[in-house]
Amino acid sequence: MADHFQLRLVDSHMLAPTVRHLAFERVDGQPLAFVPGQFLQVHFHYDDGTPTKRSYSVATVGDGQSPVQRIEIAVSYVEGGAATALLGGLEVGGEIDASGPYGRFCLQDADVHPRYLLLATGTGVTPYRAMLPKLARLLAAGDREVVLLYGARSEQELLYGAEFEAFAQAHPGFTFHGCLSRQPRTEPRPDDRAGHVQDVLAELQPHADRDIAYLCGNPNMVDAAFTALKEYGLPVAQIRREKYISSR
């Protein structure tokens, strides 16, 4: 159930030139209960006093089940953006108003399909970071496969790339494809792919009997991948979507 609380910034660093990782704790000291894949809303006011809010997926890697003390998000800066100004300028110790968790972009216990196709662009990869402990448990049974297709323009924009690569090495059923649309890595890796995430689907030959797909991030990517997956025969119920649109 959604709750309303104050968050205090305890740590931050830049993940890429225009993407900031922020770690918060609740000012009331309570942990946050959330299901990996859910998001929070940040509430604030425009300069004229009008209230507004923006959504951010929880990026925290907990154990996938228990409430977490540390609430992490990744914020991609948008030129002229109101929340960008607030979250880009927030200093350690600064407080914001938030509520949540919200959303149903989560792994579901009832899913029995053997392969998960996780597609993301930009900060749209953060829900999958939070899902890693649960994915590890799914993979441990040995009868599931997970493929993460992560689209970015260049290596510098593959957020948490090293973490996903380490997870892939530790979990043989997990494949991480960095899909680079503009510039290949200086030292390309075997699982790298050139082009947009939706273009890499052809290689994977999605199939209704095998796949559940999750799409998160840029609305254009989500729409293009949704259309492509339907053409491969996936029913809409097997395609879960989270579009990062501004909720102004």
Ligand X SMILES: Cc1cc2nc3c(=O)[nH]c(=O)nc-3n(C[C@H](O)[C@H](O)[C@H](O)COP(=O)(O)OP(=O)(O)OC[C@H]3O[C@@H](n4cnc5c(N)ncnc54)[C@H](O)[C@@H]3O)c2cc1C
Among 128, 174, 214, 244, binds ligand X (CB under 6 A): 244
Interface segment toward ligand X; rule CB under 6 A; list 4-12, 25-33, 68-76, 180-188: 68-76
45 touching ligand X, by CB under 6 A: no
CA distances from 203 to 144, 147, 177 (A): 18, 12, 12
Strands 115-121 and 145-152: parallel
Residue 111, CB-side half-sphere exposure with 13 Å CA sphere = 23
Tokens found for residue 207: 């199939």
40 touching ligand X, by CB under 6 A: no
Dihedral sign for Cα 176, 182, 126, 213, please: negative
Q: Which of residues 83-112 bind ligand X (CB under 6 A)?
A: 83-84
In this structure, the chain runs to a length of: 248
Candidates 4-12, 52-60, 89-97, 152-160: pick the segment binding ligand X (CB under 6 A).
52-60
Instruction: Pick the binder of ligand X from 34, 39, 150, 226 (CB under 6 A).
Output: 39
Nearer to ligand X, 48 or 143 (CB): 48
> 29: which residues sit within 8 A by CB, 6+ positions away?
none
121 binds ligand X (CB under 6 A): no
Segment near ligand X (CB under 6 A); pick from 8-16, 77-85, 142-150, 226-234: 77-85
Binding-site string for ligand X from residue 166 to residue 195, where x marks contact by CB under 6 A and - marks none: ------------------------------
Among residues 248, 242, 246, 198, the alpha carbon closest in space to that of 57 is found at 242
For residues 85 and 76, give the distance between their C-alpha atoms in angstroms, rounded to a whole number.
Answer: 11
Residue 80 lies near ligand X (rule: CB under 6 A): yes
Residues that bind ligand X (CB under 6 A): 39, 54-57, 73-76, 78, 80-84, 123, 126, 242, 244-248
